[in-house]
Amino acid sequence: MFVRCLFVVCSSFVRCLFVFSSFIFYLPVRLAPSFVRLSSE
């Protein structure tokens, strides 16, 4: 039972970490064009 609980916690943690890291990588990609547009003006 303890191992199962630990597995659930680990899997949810990994999922949160994956979402967070993908968000961190996705955000600069979305913001880059506007920064380029501002710097070129």
Q: Per residue of the chain (41 residues), give pLDDT as tens.
A: 889 999 999 999 999 999 999 999 888 888 888 877 888 87
Angle in degrees, CA 6, 8, 20, rounded to 5: 110
d(CA 2, CA 10): 12
Q: pLDDT value at position 2?
A: 87
